[in-house]
Amino acid sequence: MSALSERPENPVVGVPEPHESAVGHVTGTALYTDDIAARGDALSAWPVQAPHAHALITGMRFEKALQVPGVVRVLTADDVPGINDAGVKNDEPLFPTEVMYYGHPVCWVLGESQEAARLGAAVVEVDYDPLPSLVTVRDAIEAESFQGPQRLTRRGDADAALASAPHVFEGVTEFSGQEHFYLETMASLAYYDEGGTLYVQAGTQHPSETQEIVAHVLGLSNNEVAVQCIRMGGGFGGKEMQPHGLAAIAAIGTKLTGRPVRLRLNRTQDMTITGKRHGFHVSWSVGFSDEGKILGLKATLTADGGWSLDLSEAVLGRALCHLDNAYWIPDIEALGRISKTNKTSQTAFRGFGGPQGVFVIEDIMGRCAPELGIDPAELRRRNFYVAGQDTPYGQPVRHAERMHEIWDQVLENANFTERSTEIAAFNAAHPHAKRALAVTPIKFGISFNVAAFNQAGALVLVYKDGSVLINHGGTEMGQGLHTKMIQVAATALGVPRSAVRLAPTRTDKVPNTSATAASTGADLNGGAVKNACEQIRDRMAGVAATMLRTSPNDVRFSHGEVTALGQHDSVTFNDVAKEAYLQRVQLSASGYYRTEGLHWDSEAWFGSPFKYFAYGAAATEVEVDGFTGAYRIRRVDIVHDVGDSLSPIIDIGQVEGGFVQGMGWLTLEDLRWDSSDGPGRGRLLTQAASTYKLPSFSEMPEEFNVTLYDRAHEDGVVYGSKAVGEPPLMLAFSAREALRQAAASFGPAGATRELASPATPENVFWALQQAAARGVDMPNDAATAPEPSLAGS
């Protein structure tokens, strides 16, 4: 077992602990960026948003705005001292001359109050010269409007495999994006400290990049800007890249006025300005053997990138690397490309392209199983990776056997066989209501695809009284990273959890950090925190050895007691800390961690980009009403692999939350954009909770059983754990597949089972109508029927 993954006796990791801010969250004492901003005399910033999907800006006049009481000034491109760009790809002008999407902010008004700034923004006069726009991916494909490089993942000869396969199907799979709908909208607060450092408190998953962009927009060096993130009310990937430009607006305001400046988007602004999950258009052909083994796959994936690249290349990359999900695809050729459309710039969202890749293969499984005459659960299982196989991009699938074990366990926990029989009986007895139970797997790669990002730092301070303060480079967005880091520090130092406090994430404590993303927060920062604690503990062991008259190697730290092997005497951690100070032994350390063993060639699309895979499976039962398509999620059983959990309550919460968020994307949340030729072309139509349906209490599964996979120690990761943040989102495919199967049950066995996405009650209704209609002229044994084309769902 590696030193990194080995746990001491009685560790604080693994203990079920509530979230470190749980009490603050429910009592309202946990502060968010705008709570802090609201305490001072900060100016407020308000955007002027363009009412065109695509247009040139030909003039702007501010006289009327400046006459509004309380308006202080208007920020434009002329106010940018450094580089007028909010991104890292040089394609995101912070103040545009060309409007790229409906709602694009063209300038910002500063006011003494939000109300003053709002009224000022309403009377700014802007002249536009409208240009033709592309609103849908299909439009963009037709116009060949792409951005960034195209990527090809290839193994073997997919054409030959399809030519010789006994069963070949082809189709188009389309799905749309997802709004992050974090409860806390984008917020930042900028101010100067006495020495001239520009401070920015921001809701950002990537404080170091916020710092860099603020610096480059203001023409400063990084050491003149400090970014802090206390916590976020959800990020979900949406705050990985897109807070930077907004923080820069606040910072410019501070630079020009000398006053603190506060910028907080309201919900509609957040929804219409910031990027979302990428929707995709995918065309595919797949070949199966008579036994239902995938022989070959060809696909073209087109991501809807929106107006600029931001993280689209990386999202597309992860989609291509998850096209296989848990399945062995011997011959494959998949092209990935990013369309450029006149929409918000689509960005990271929990799973980061992984869910989009998995969507394709799970859709293929769900659609083809009845054509092959094989039960969908059985079809999936038959295609699982087995030990010794590699992914299409060349990474060995280590622990492939876990997928099989987890699958068996979830089928057992869910009473799959028994309930399937009961469901068949229910369906036979109920012509207007149908139930279905579906099970789907997930295999998800952990690490950033860019090797350099897989590093982290920490700063740990032990005070003379033995109390401990930790800093690390990761951010807290509700996922419980800080709770885990406290548990890691307490374990590594051998102190009780109560001895450890955590200071907010700041770029002037830990520099050059990576985004808290790709679910790597605990792996990376945990490694760094542990490293820092061990440096201090090793020095303290020397001090304790003299106190206990033993050798440093025989000193043990546990729960605040320091003992020597084979001795009854002990001293307290606090006494050792005090003694260390008196002996002039350093009680602070900066820790560092980098993930070993990763390599990736993005040109050849080949390597081992992931440290390991996280596995899971879910079985979901639904009931669909034949008159309306309305449905209920009756029961969900999940078995998920988090290694040896660092913090079981947190991990179960992540699995539950991830599942429900995935269910929202796949079954409820319906992003609509105006693609008409009217004056609202390109406008996001669903820009509030009234029109954008999120999962809420009423959509929670009626019975929800989450089991963490047992005996799951992951060697080479901090205390044997595995990342949990994103993978469980993809367990929600079981809900979509159950809805597909229930809708199909309204028709004859073996009928084609297409289901448009998201599987809203409306789309489920059309699917069940289609299934019922097919009953009229489809043969019952589709396996022997001529192969229909599945194109055009």
User: Order of strands across the sheet with 468-472?
Assistant: 500-502, 468-472, 455-462, 588-594
Helix 416-429 to helix 400-413 angle (10° resolution) is 50
Q: Is 478 in the site for ligand MTE (CB under 6 A)?
A: yes
Q: How far is the CB of 218 from ligand MOS (least distance, A)?
A: 26
Looking at 441, 657, 695, 747, which residue binds ligand MTE (CB under 6 A)?
657
Q: How far apart are CA 167 and CA 153, in angstroms?
A: 23
Q: Which residue has the tokens 């995935």?
A: 662
Catalytic residues: 726
Q: Which among 376, 318, 335 has a CA at the least distance from the CA of 619?
A: 376
Q: Is 270 in the site for ligand MTE (CB under 6 A)?
A: no
Q: 600 phi and psi, to 5 degrees?
A: -155, 125
User: Order of strands across the sheet with 612-625?
Assistant: 433-446, 612-625, 631-640, 703-708
DSSP class of residue 612 equals E
Pick one of ligand MOS, ligand MTE, none as the site partner of residue 481 (Cβ within 5 to 8 A by kind): ligand MTE
Q: Is 445 in the site for ligand MTE (CB under 6 A)?
A: no
* 680 close to 707: Cβ distance less than 8 angstroms: no
Is the peptide bond preceding residue 758 cis, with omega within 30 degrees of 0?
yes
Q: How far is the CB of 432 from ligand MTE (least distance, A)?
A: 39
Pick one of ligand MOS, ligand MTE, none as the site partner of residue 714 (Cβ within 5 to 8 A by kind): none
Q: 336 phi and psi, to 5 degrees?
A: -120, 140
Q: How far is the CB of 241 from ligand MOS (least distance, A)?
A: 9
- Per-residue contact flags (x/-) with ligand MTE for residues 636 to 655, judged by CB under 6 A: ------------------x-
Q: How far is the CB of 661 from ligand MTE (least distance, A)?
A: 8
**Looking at beta carbons only, is 93 or 245 nearer to ligand MOS?**
245
**Counting Cβ atoms within 10 Å, is residue 41 exposed (0-12), middle (13-18) or buried (19+)?**
exposed
SS3 letters across 78-101:
HHCCCCCCCCCCCCCCCCCCEECC
**Looking at beta carbons only, is 459 or 477 nearer to ligand MTE?**
477
Q: Is 730 in the site for ligand MTE (CB under 6 A)?
A: no
Q: Is 14 in the site for ligand MTE (CB under 6 A)?
A: no
Looking at 102, 181, 236, 709, which residue binds ligand MTE (CB under 6 A)?
236
Output Rg (C-alpha) for the chain, integer angstroms.
Answer: 28
**Looking at beta carbons only, is 479 or 793 nearer to ligand MOS?**
479
Three-state SS at 470: strand
Q: How far is the CB of 521 from ligand MOS (least distance, A)?
A: 9
Q: How far is the CB of 21 from ligand MTE (least distance, A)?
A: 11
Q: Between the CA of residue 60 and those of 104, 123, 156, 311, 770, what are the distances in Å?
A: 15, 11, 57, 31, 53
Residue nearest to ligand MOS (CB): 237
Q: Is 662 in the site for ligand MTE (CB under 6 A)?
A: no
Q: Is 275 in the site for ligand MTE (CB under 6 A)?
A: no
Q: Which residues bind ligand MOS (CB under 6 A)?
A: 205, 237, 240, 348-350, 352, 517-518, 726
Q: How far apart are CA 408 and CA 713, in angstroms?
A: 19
Question: Please, which residues have CB within 8 angstroms of residue 423's CB and are 6 or more apart in sequence?
Answer: 435, 436, 437, 621
Q: How far is the CB of 304 from ligand MOS (least distance, A)?
A: 16
Q: Is 720 in the site for ligand MTE (CB under 6 A)?
A: no
Q: Is 345 in the site for ligand MTE (CB under 6 A)?
A: no
Q: Give the range of 474-482, 557-565, 702-710, 778-786 binding ligand MTE by CB under 6 A.
A: 474-482
Near ligand MTE in 589-608, by CB under 6 A: none
* 718 close to 607: Cβ distance less than 8 angstroms: no
* 640 close to 707: Cβ distance less than 8 angstroms: yes
**Looking at beta carbons only, is 199 or 352 nearer to ligand MOS?**
352
Three-state SS at 360: helix
Q: How far is the CB of 481 from ligand MTE (least distance, A)?
A: 4
**Looking at beta carbons only, is 22 or 83 nearer to ligand MTE?**
22
**Looking at beta carbons only, is 275 or 747 nearer to ligand MOS?**
275
Q: How far apart are CA 738 and CA 636, in angstroms?
A: 11
Q: Give the range of 45-53, 139-147, 229-237, 449-457 binding ligand MTE by CB under 6 A.
A: 229-237
Pick one of ligand MOS, ligand MTE, none as the site partner of residue 729 (Cβ within 5 to 8 A by kind): none
Q: Is 235 in the site for ligand MTE (CB under 6 A)?
A: yes
Q: Give the range of 674-682, 696-704, 705-713, 721-729 binding ligand MTE by CB under 6 A.
A: 721-729
Q: How far is the CB of 348 from ligand MTE (least distance, A)?
A: 7
Q: How far apart are CA 157 and CA 168, in angstroms?
A: 15
**Looking at beta carbons only, is 315 or 744 nearer to ligand MOS?**
315
Q: Give the range of 228-236, 497-505, 617-625, 687-695 binding ligand MTE by CB under 6 A.
A: 228-236
DSSP class of residue 789 equals P
**Looking at beta carbons only, is 520 or 741 nearer to ligand MOS?**
520
Q: Please measure the distance between the N-terminal and C-terminal CA atoms of the chain and give it in whole angstroms.
A: 50
Tally helices (H) and strands (E) across the chain.
Answer: 20, 29
**Looking at beta carbons only, is 248 or 348 nearer to ligand MOS?**
348
Question: Please, which residues have CB within 8 angstroms of residue 475's CB and are 6 or more apart in sequence?
Answer: 204, 205, 206, 207, 229, 231, 232, 235, 481, 505, 516, 521
Q: How far apart are CA 30 and CA 22, in angstroms?
A: 9
Q: How far is the CB of 355 from ligand MTE (least distance, A)?
A: 11
Residue nearest to ligand MTE (CB): 521
Near ligand MTE in 518-537, by CB under 6 A: 518-522
Q: Is 725 in the site for ligand MTE (CB under 6 A)?
A: yes
Q: 217 phi and psi, to 5 degrees?
A: -70, -35
Pick one of ligand MOS, ligand MTE, none as the site partner of residue 479 (Cβ within 5 to 8 A by kind): ligand MTE
Q: How far apart are CA 544 and CA 576, in angstroms?
A: 6
Question: In 43-145, at which residue ranges do the beta strands (DSSP E only) sit?
Answer: 43-49, 55-61, 71-75, 98-99, 105-111, 125-130
**Counting Cβ atoms within 10 Å, is residue 665 exposed (0-12), middle (13-18) or buried (19+)?**
buried
Q: How far is the CB of 263 from ligand MOS (least distance, A)?
A: 21
**Looking at beta carbons only, is 339 or 479 nearer to ligand MTE?**
479
Pick one of ligand MTE, ligand MOS, none as the site partner of residue 243 (Cβ within 5 to 8 A by kind): none
Looking at 54, 350, 367, 634, which residue binds ligand MTE (CB under 6 A)?
350
Q: How far apart are CA 85 and CA 213, in angstroms?
A: 8
Q: How far is the CB of 18 from ligand MTE (least distance, A)?
A: 14
**Looking at beta carbons only, is 339 or 479 nearer to ligand MOS?**
479
Pick one of ligand MTE, ligand MOS, none as the site partner of residue 234 (Cβ within 5 to 8 A by kind): ligand MTE
Three-state SS at 454: coil
**Looking at beta carbons only, is 111 or 353 nearer to ligand MOS?**
353
**Looking at beta carbons only, is 254 or 721 nearer to ligand MTE?**
721
DSSP class of residue 69 equals T
Q: Give the range of 371-379, 452-460, 514-522, 528-536 binding ligand MTE by CB under 6 A.
A: 514-522
Pick one of ligand MOS, ligand MTE, none as the site partner of residue 522 (Cβ within 5 to 8 A by kind): ligand MTE
Q: Is 353 in the site for ligand MTE (CB under 6 A)?
A: no
Residue numbers at the binding site for ligand MTE (CB under 6 A): 234-237, 350, 477-479, 481, 516-522, 654, 657, 723, 725-726
